[in-house]
Amino acid sequence: MHTSVLTEAVDKAHKAGRHALIPFLPAGFPDPERFWEVLRELDAQGADIIEIGVPFSDPVADGPLIEAVSLQCLADGVDLDWILDGLERMAGQLATPIVCMGYYNPFWQYGMARFAERAAQAGVAGCIVPDLPLEEAGPFQEVLNAQGMDLIRMIGVNTSEERMRAYAKNGSGFVYMVAALGITGTQAGFPPQLPQALSRAQDIFDDPIALGFGLERKEQLGEIRDLVDAVVFGSSLIRHVQGGGEVRTFLQRWH
């Protein structure tokens, strides 16, 4: 098992007594030019890991906001080549580890091994693929791991202990706990089973636990704050940027 830069990034924040911050930025948002500026700002303003969204025409786990943004990015010509070319140009300039978050088909059509090779060269540390559950993750995980990259495991409040244990066997990076039974950006509060699911995950996984879906500010975490090592936020950041807000002021909500 390799030493994951993603695990290290979360641990570093944890040691500093705070949650690791993982913003999600759709590739090409708010527009293809300004995307790279926002990426630099996130890097400079204290993000610990940055998730870059790979747009897909049919994103099953995303809510209306991220879906609409993704479709706009596709219309603007954003694809994996565009993302990897840009990251290659920026190689060495970003201190924050990058993960690519996207649905399986674009990676598969690109060629999993080809993607992994180029992504590793461009400094990508891992991938999050919502439509690759335990049963289907093997082939992509293998090619990513061969390049020293992680396939982040996503679990939910309805994931059984048995399945968590199976996920724990061969994972790396961090574990992404989906904070609700739902889609991105649509939750109003956490489900009652969440604390129990997080406790179970903390017991079962050696890797840090990140919480995502519906997160906007630190105060939301309340009683579960100590059960979480990192926070992922997407829709709320998109809304903030769309409203003309600065990345800095958004990240401050988490300090």
Binding marks (x or -) toward other proteins, 181..210, rule CB under 8 A?
xxx---------------------------
Q: Rounded to the nearest whole angstrom, what is the least distance from the CB of residue 230 to other proteins in the complex?
A: 18
- CB proximity list for 194: less than 8 A, separation 6 or greater: 157, 179, 180, 224
CB of 94 or CB of 113, closer to other proteins: 113
Tokens, residue 119? 């992504």
- Report, in Å, the least distance between residue 68 CB and other proteins: 7
Q: Which of 126, 130, 171, 208 binds other proteins (CB under 8 A)?
A: 130
β-strands 124-128, 50-53 pairing: unpaired
Please answer whether residues 128 and 101 qualify as being in contact, where contact means their C-beta atoms are separated by less than 8 angstroms.
Answer: yes
Give 90 or 134: the residue with its C-beta nearer to other proteins. Answer: 134
CA dihedral 30, 35, 40, 43 (to 10 degrees): 70
By CB under 8 A, residue 60 contacts other proteins: yes
Nearer to other proteins, 108 or 217 (CB): 108
C-alpha span between 242 and 29 (Å, rounded): 9
Residue 36 binds to other proteins (criterion: CB under 8 A): no
CA-based nearest residue to 179, from 232, 252, 239? 232
Question: What H or E segment, with its residue span, contains residue 101?
Answer: strand 98-101
Answer yes or no whether residue 166 interacts with other proteins by CB under 8 A.
no
Coil, helix or strand at residue 211: strand
163 counts as binding other proteins under rule CB under 8 A: yes
**Is 150 one of the annotated active-site residues of the chain?**
no
Catalytic residues: 51, 62
Residues in contact with other proteins by the rule CB under 8 A: 56-61, 63-64, 67-68, 71, 74, 79-80, 103-110, 130-136, 154-156, 158-160, 163, 178, 181-183
